[in-house]
Amino acid sequence: MSRHKDANTEAADPDQEPWPALGPKTAELHARRLRLMMAQAARASNVAEAGGHFALTSEDGRISFLLQASAVGLYLEHHQWVSLTEQYVQCMIFESSKLFTLWCDSDSIRFEHPILFGQLKRLGGDIHHADR
């Protein structure tokens, strides 16, 4: 048997071969590292984005909020990573700052991430009052 390549056989390029699948623990660690990097970037820019959007992210990167003034009221997106492959997303519009405050006070983030809660409540109130 010859070790020489046949003219009809193409050499396998190692860059073209697929990466092996990550194990569950490795995949979770990779996802956590990615979320932490995204959270650090969001906090570094804390928080104004183009177009009047404002973003807030928890320290571990699992929870983030996007706020924006709209013609109807305060628009809020709430993203929460439950696992590596599951993300919980809520989109809401609050017509008044009172409704926004009631929602904030009933959300579990108030206890789990008190600093993020304070930033969210303050920023939401500021956006709502600046729009009026």
pLDDT tens digits, 61-109: 888 889 998 888 889 999 988 887 888 999 999 998 889 989 988 888 8
**Percent share of the chain, pLDDT over 90:** 11
Write down the pTM of the prediction. 0.60
Identify whether 20 is part of a domain: no
Identify whether 30 is part of a domain: no
What are the Cα distances from residue 86, in Å, to 10, 17, 52, 127? 41, 28, 28, 30
Identify whether 23 is part of a domain: no
Q: Is the pLDDT of residue 6 over 80?
A: no
Q: Which residues is 22 bridged to in the sheet?
A: none
CB-based contacts of 79, cutoff 8 Å, min separation 6: 63, 64, 65, 66, 87, 88, 89
Task: Tell me what pLDDT residue 61 has.
Answer: 81
Dihedral, CA of residue 29, residue 112, residue 57 and residue 54, to nearest 10: 160
Identify whether 101 is part of a domain: yes
Average pLDDT, the chain: 77
Q: Are 128 and 97 in contact (CB under 8 A)?
A: yes
Identify whether 36 is part of a domain: no
Identify whether 103 is part of a domain: yes
Task: Tell me what pLDDT residue 41 has.
Answer: 61
Identify whether 17 is part of a domain: no
Total count of domains within the chain: 1
Identify whether 59 is part of a domain: yes
Q: Tokens standing for 23?
A: 């194990």
Task: Tell me what pLDDT residue 23 has.
Answer: 82
Q: Which domain holds residue 81?
A: 46-131
